[in-house]
Chains A and B, each alone.
Chain A
């Protein structure tokens, strides 16, 4: 898992599967309104594709995809996106997560709720994917103490 796998089958299967998993993860995130799924499940699928690349192609190739330092930064960014969208309703005197009162001109309140909950799902997905990848990285540890 630190060095690339010596098996050609493993490497080629991971190369073929990882983009398909990522595409399905995006479908799960953006179709979470209408079907089972949502931010958490889509984020875990994204993290699974990142971990699959790290397992098959070695730790170094995975670092080109999502660097270790970016894991926690993206995790924080997702939480901040969630909090910012939730707090945006404060500007017009609404409650937290009261999406109908988010000050965006040109949208009906129902459309605003539908749009903003999608932004929140994206924030959840970013956080879950980044933190689960970071858990894998931290569990694998540094080069010197492995």
Chain B
């Protein structure tokens, strides 16, 4: 009987997704997206897709967040032309 946990996870998934869209700081948005990926991995674990959950946790919550942040540091606040 795991449906209360899954319900909480779905709510947290929606909250993180909306928060990453609404927040103004790009850095905060990318950090919230890694949290979204981690909750997504937990949900995939709860439906029995362990391999997919593992990949999602490693890629989404591990490496892509770093790449987002590096990409954000490569941008500037104002355009140069």
Write the residues of chain A forming the contact surface with B, with a CB cutoff of 8 angstroms. 1, 36-38, 40-41, 44-45, 47-48, 51, 55, 132, 135-136, 139-141
Instruction: Tell me if B51 and A36 are in contact (CB < 8 A).
Output: yes
**What is the distance, in angstroms, from B63's C-beta to the closest C-beta of chain A?**
5
Write the residues of chain B forming the contact surface with A, with a CB cutoff of 8 angstroms. 50-51, 53-55, 58-59, 62-63, 66-67, 70-71, 73-74
Instruction: Tell me if A48 and B63 are in contact (CB < 8 A).
Output: yes
Instruction: Tell me if B62 and A44 are in contact (CB < 8 A).
Output: yes
Compute how far the CA of A140 lies from the CA of B54 in the bound complex, rounded to whole angstroms: 27
Contacts of A38 in B (CB 8 A): 51
Q: Which of A45, A55, A141 contacts B66 (CB 8 A)?
A: A55
Q: A36-B50, A38-B51, A135-B67 are in contact. List 5 more A-B contacts (CB 8 A).
A: A37-B51, A45-B62, A136-B67, A136-B70, A139-B70
Compute how far the CA of A47 lies from the CA of B77 in the bound complex, rounded to whole angstroms: 30
Q: Which residue of B lies closest to A47 (CB)?
A: B63
Q: Which of A1, A36, A55 contacts B54 (CB 8 A)?
A: A36
Instruction: Tell me if B55 and A139 are in contact (CB < 8 A).
Output: no
Instruction: Tell me if B55 and A40 are in contact (CB < 8 A).
Output: yes
Instruction: Tell me if A136 and B74 are in contact (CB < 8 A).
Output: no
Query: Which secondary structure dominates where chain A touches chain B?
Result: helix
**What is the distance, in angstroms, from B10's C-beta to the closest C-beta of chain A?**
23
Contacts of A1 in B (CB 8 A): 70, 73
**What is the distance, in angstroms, from B14's C-beta to the closest C-beta of chain A?**
27
Compute how far the CA of A121 lies from the CA of B71 in the bound complex, rounded to whole angstroms: 30
**What is the distance, in angstroms, from A123's C-beta to the closest C-beta of chain B?**
18
Instruction: Tell me if A136 and B50 are in contact (CB < 8 A).
Output: no
Q: Which residue of A lies closest to B54 (CB)?
A: A36
**What is the distance, in angstroms, from A57's C-beta to the closest C-beta of chain B?**
14
Instruction: Tell me if A44 and B58 are in contact (CB < 8 A).
Output: yes
Contacts of B73 in A (CB 8 A): 1
